[in-house]
Amino acid sequence: MKKIASLFMVLALCGCGSQEIESIRLSCDQKEVEPDETIQIEVQVEPDSIELSEDAFHATKDPDLKWDGEILRFTADEAGDYQITASQDGISSNTLILSVKEDTESSKEPEETEETANQEASEDQEESNPAAQPSTPEESDDEYLVSWSQNDPLRVDEVWQYGDVLVNTDQDVWVRGQLPQTIRDEKEGMILWNEDQSVMIQIEDPDHQIQQGNQAITLVGPISKTDSGYKITVKRVF
């Protein structure tokens, strides 16, 4: 009788030592991760006396997973969604999804590099083609100096030649040209011709200082660009 009782006790003790996993649960409060950031994933096993091996954990896209028996640590450098699971003894956990963000600093570098390359290419093109660059008074030879003075007014064709410079200056420009017999053109409004009437600019005369046409005239005012060319806004008339 004692032998039978002892046998039952041995069997009972053996049964208590062979616990089986009931469930595995993975959880993490943080769902979005920066590249190369290490976060902790909580692992809950029922019963909690059972320990999982490091081989129990699996993930897509091959992140760095480190298991110390209590906490699972996750690190990844590639942007995208990662699915993490655990399975042992035929029991599988829930699927935990973590999203690694795009590396914004790295993504900006190609754009900056491309922009810099385009800028350098544009500068090289301008240097190789001096005619494409606007002539300025400081950089030009004496015979090509842009004059904004009463003593040496610009011709109408010179307004076209140095238009980009004149538009960007905050000074009034002196321009000498020829008014047509009819002051106001039906299409262009008031205009000022060069000597051979091959080039003209528009005139804006807000104070109505120009009273008659068919005469040589000097106008003073700022130059602006229009859809069809250039325009002088009259401040003074000589």
Q: What is the pLDDT of residues 111-150, one digit of tens each?
A: 555 666 666 666 665 555 444 444 444 444 443 445 566 7
> Which three-class secondary structure state does DSSP give residue 124?
helix
pLDDT of residue 7 exceeding 70, the answer is no
pTM beyond 0.75, yes or no: no
Instruction: Check residue 105 and give its pLDDT.
Output: 65
pLDDT tens digits along 160-176: 988 888 888 778 889 99
- Banded pLDDT at 35 (limits 50, 70, 90): very high
Question: Please, are residues 156 and 166 in contact by the beta-carbon 8 Å criterion?
Answer: no
Q: Is 56 exposed, middle or buried (0-12, 13-18, 19+ CB in 10 A)?
A: buried
Beta strand segments in the chain, E = 23-27, 32-33, 39-46, 57-59, 64-67, 71-75, 80-88, 91-92, 96-100, 154-155, 173-179, 184-185, 189-193, 200-204, 215-221, 223-225, 230-233, 236-237
pLDDT score for 111: 52
Amino acid 122: pLDDT:
60
Average pLDDT over residues 185-195: 78
Map tokens 């950089």 to a residue. 139
Query: CATH for 21-100, among 1.10.3720.10, 2.102.10.10, 2.170.190.11, 2.60.40.10?
Result: 2.60.40.10
Question: Do residues 144 and 201 lie in contact, with contact meaning Cβ atoms separated by under 8 Å?
Answer: no
Please check whether the domain covering 138-237 is classified as CATH 2.40.50.200.
yes
Cβ atoms 172, 221 nearer than 8 A = yes
Alpha-carbon gap, residue 131 to 4, rounded angstroms: 113
Domain assignments of the chain as residue spans, ordered by start: 21-100, 138-237
Percentage of the residues of the chain whose pLDDT score is greater than 70: 71
Q: Are 216 and 207 in contact (CB under 8 A)?
A: no
